[in-house]
C-alpha cells in the first residue's frame, strides 16, 4: 500500500513539473491575440525582419506585381498576389472568399496577418500575408 501511495505522489509531482513546460511551449507557438493592434509598416521592414512581425496584424502599401485567381480544394475562390515596394522588396498576399478586382500595377493598401512561413500541404511559403482588407489607392 505504501508503494502505491509513493508512486501516486511521485506522479502528482511529475505532472506539476511537466504541465508548465507544456503550457510554455504552446504559448510560444500561439500567434498574437486577435485584439492585437494593426502595425503600420513598410514592406522592406517586414522582409528585413520577418521574425519581429510573425503572427502580427500589419497594414502596408505597395504595387501589385502579379495576380493569380485560384479555387481552394473545396471550390471556393481566392486571390493570390505579390505586393512590391519601390525597392522591389516583396511579400506574398492571399485573400480568401473572392476574386479581387485588382490588376498588375495597381497600388493597394492591405491589412492582414503576416506569417514568416506558412505551410500548405507540401509547400512552404515565406513572407506571406493573409489579407482581411485590400483597398485600391
Q: What pLDDT sits at residue 118?
A: 83
Identify which of 119, 113, 73, 71 has the alpha carbon closest to the alpha carbon of residue 96: 71
- Helices then strands, counting H and E runs in the chain, come out as 3, 6
- The whole-number pLDDT of residue 124 equals 81
Q: Which three cell numbers stand for residue 101?
A: 478586382
Chain segment 106-118, per-residue pLDDT in tens = 999 999 999 998 8
Does residue 65 contact residue 108 with C-beta atoms inside 8 Å?
A: no
3 or 39, which is more confident? 39
pTM greater than 0.85: no
Q: What angle do CA 102, 51, 128 make, to 5 degrees?
A: 20
At CA 78, angle to CA 56 and CA 101, rounded to 5?
A: 100
Amino acid at each position: 500500500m505504501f508503494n502505491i501511495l509513493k508512486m501516486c505522489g511521485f506522479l502528482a509531482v511529475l505532472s506539476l513539473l511537466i504541465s508548465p513546460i507544456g503550457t510554455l511551449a504552446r504559448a510560444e507557438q500561439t500567434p498574437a491575440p486577435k485584439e492585437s493592434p494593426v502595425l503600420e509598416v513598410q514592406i522592406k521592414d517586414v522582409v528585413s525582419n520577418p521574425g519581429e512581425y510573425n503572427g502580427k496584424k500589419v497594414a502596408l502599401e505597395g504595387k501589385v506585381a502579379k495576380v493569380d485567381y485560384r479555387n481552394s480544394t473545396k471550390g471556393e475562390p481566392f486571390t493570390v498576389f505579390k505586393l512590391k515596394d519601390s525597392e522591389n522588396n516583396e511579400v506574398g498576399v492571399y485573400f480568401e472568399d473572392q476574386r479581387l478586382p485588382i490588376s498588375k500595377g495597381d497600388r493597394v493598401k492591405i491589412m492582414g496577418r503576416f506569417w514568416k512561413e506558412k505551410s500548405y500541404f507540401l509547400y512552404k511559403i515565406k513572407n506571406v500575408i493573409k489579407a482581411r482588407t485590400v483597398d485600391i489607392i
